[in-house]
Amino acid sequence: AQSVTQLDSQVPVFEEAPVELRCNYSSSVSVYLFWYVQYPNQGLQLLLKYLSGSTLVKGINGFEAEFNKSQTSFHLRKPSVHISDTAEYFCAVSRGTNAGKSTFGDGTTLTVKP
Amino acid sequence: GAGVSQTPSNKVTEKGKYVELRCDPISGHTALYWYRQSLGQGPEFLIYFQGTGAADDSGLPNDRFFAVRPEGSVSTLKIQRTERGDSAVYLCASSSSSGANVLTFGAGSRLTVL
Residues B49-87 have pLDDT tens digits of: 988 988 899 999 999 999 999 998 999 999 999 999 999
Contact at CB, B102 and A90, closer than 8 angstroms: no
Query: How many residues are given for chain B?
Result: 114
pLDDT in tens, A71-80: 999 999 999 9
Q: How many angstroms separate the CA atoms of B3 and B78, rounded? A: 22
Strand order from edge to edge, sheet including B75-79: B5-7, B19-24, B75-79, B65-68
Nearest CA in chain B to A40: B107
Compute the mean pLDDT over every residue in chain B, rounded to the nearest whole number. 92
pLDDT-above-90 percentage for chain B: 79
Q: What are the tens digits of pLDDT across the range A12-65?
A: 999 999 999 999 999 877 788 999 999 987 889 999 999 888 889 999 999 999
Chain A positions touching chain B (beta carbons under 8 Å): 4, 32, 34, 36, 41-46, 49, 51, 90, 92, 96, 98-107
Among residues A67, A104, A64, the alpha carbon closest in space to that of A88 is found at: A104
Contact (CB<8Å) A96/B40: no
Mutant choice from B105, B109, B110 vs A, greatest count of A C-beta within 10 A: B105
In angstroms, the separation between the Cα of residue B94 and the nearest Cα of chain A is 8
Chain B 34-93, residues with CB within 8 Å of chain A CB atoms: 40-45, 48, 56, 91, 93
pLDDT-based confidence at A101, cuts 50/70/90?
confident
